[in-house]
Copies of this chain bind each other. A is one copy, B any other.
Amino acid sequence: MTTTPVIDGIHLHARLAALARVGAIDGGGCARLALTDADKDGRDLVVGWMRAQGLAVTVDAIGNVFAVRAGREDGPPVMTGSHIDTVRTGGRFDGNYGVLAGLEVCRAFDAAGLVTRHPLCVAFFTNEEGARFQPDMMGSLVHAGGLSLQEAYAATDTSGLRLGDELERIGYRGRAAPGTIRPRAFVELHIEQGPVLEEAGRTIGAVTGVQGISWHEFVVSGTAAHAGTTPMRLRHDAGYVAAAAATYVRQLTHDMGGAQVGTVGVSELRPNLINVIANHARFTVDLRNTDEALLRQAEQRTFAAIDSVAQAEGAAVERRRLARFEPVVFDAAMVAHVERVARAHGHDPMRLPSGAGHDAQMMARLCPTAMIFVPSVTGLSHNVAEYTAPADLEAGAAVLLDVLLELAQA
């Protein structure tokens, strides 16, 4: 006899709190950098819960963990999940929430005596944050075939430790070949990490895709000179070039509008003295758009503007690409499915793109994929003060349950 499966909110909160105690840091946050002892402890805790729930756990060669709940039929599972590694001063919900909510869906199905047609799989992927080893979203990227095991193993942290060795050391270099479990569909539940849902007063976001990201570093070489004795027309001011670049980026986002965002987050001058014209400036430009053609346009316009201002100033500028990802557009039917379920739960869901990267964007290479967002208070994330209200966490998990249920029964 089956009943209607429902999320056990109390249990979800208790597990989030228990996982947050692993690698806990002052202020309520977590430090579980990928493949550290703290990451191992977090993994052991979650794998223990998976096994205790009777799920079949597989660890692959990059350390991704898959917990499968059998369905009436064999074949590809419906997959959900996220990551449990954190940045150095991370919050307790980023990633962890999606994984533990997936386990709560399994518990709810168990409690309701429900066996789905297709298997259900709850996954957590290795090194999503990229805070210790680059690139980020590494486990899901390897799973999707976008990065070889050899390349991933060769990544080193700042103290020279190899990722492959660290994976072995913490006991999570599994035997399964990456990509073996190819799901029918993938759904990731995650906190928004931005202020949009909160500002709009919505509880559920139906994520339409992930913004493309373009990261570049610029180094400007001018000429140090006395701020009093050097006429304006004889200056080669590296600091001015940096300032003009930052104001251009802001103007560009206004001119392009839409989803285009742009940020100069790093800016440093040398010698950085009040009465000396800077001979050196280093700054970064972070450009994002949901549309690849527009993102390319933003890059080209920014590069041209910076070259032009540097040339006019008689300063040299060097550009280095730090990261570049094309936008990802999620499957339209999957996004509509999330919206439909959210409405059935009484929500007024909001379509929005993700401004941050997620494992779902790698899984979208393999299968129809969607993401569900819940609000982040004041948009704060990668911060110990990251917070989402308990009711919102429960609402997101409840939507996830019905989204997965429908996919698993289809």
Contact (Cβ within 8 A) B269 A267? yes
Which residues 372-393 of A have a CB within 8 angstroms of B? 379-383
> What band does the interface of chain A fall in when counting residues whose beta carbon is under 8 Å from B?
35 or more
In the complex, A266 has a CB within 8 A of chain B: yes
Q: How far is the CA of A240 from the CA of B245 in the complex (A)?
A: 10
Give A359 Cβ to nearest chain B Cβ, in Å. 15
- Contacts A237-B263, A274-B265, A274-B266 known; A286 to B246 CB distance under 8 Å? no
Contact (Cβ within 8 A) A288 B379? no
In the complex, A409 has a CB within 8 A of chain B: no
Mark each residue of chain A from 238 to 255: 1 if its CB lies under 8 Å from any CB of chain B, else 0: 011011111100100110
In the complex, A211 has a CB within 8 A of chain B: yes
In the complex, A308 has a CB within 8 A of chain B: no
Contact (Cβ within 8 A) B240 A194? no
Interface of A is mostly: mixed
In the complex, A71 has a CB within 8 A of chain B: no
Which residues 313-352 of A have a CB within 8 angstroms of B? 322
Q: How far is the CA of A86 from the CA of B69 in the complex (A)?
A: 77
In the complex, A10 has a CB within 8 A of chain B: no
Q: How far is the CA of A354 from the CA of B262 in the complex (A)?
A: 42
CB < 8 Å neighbour of A231 from B261, B264, B268, B269: B261
For A195, A254, A267, A356, the residue with the greatest tally of chain B CB atoms inside 10 Å of its CB is A267
For A228, A230, A239, A254, the residue with the greatest tally of chain B CB atoms inside 10 Å of its CB is A228
Contact (Cβ within 8 A) B196 A274? no
Contact (Cβ within 8 A) A234 B199? yes
Contact (Cβ within 8 A) B265 A272? yes
CB < 8 Å neighbour of A194 from B215, B229, B239, B272: B229
Contact (Cβ within 8 A) B269 A227? no
Q: How far is the CA of A274 from the CA of B266 in the complex (A)?
A: 5
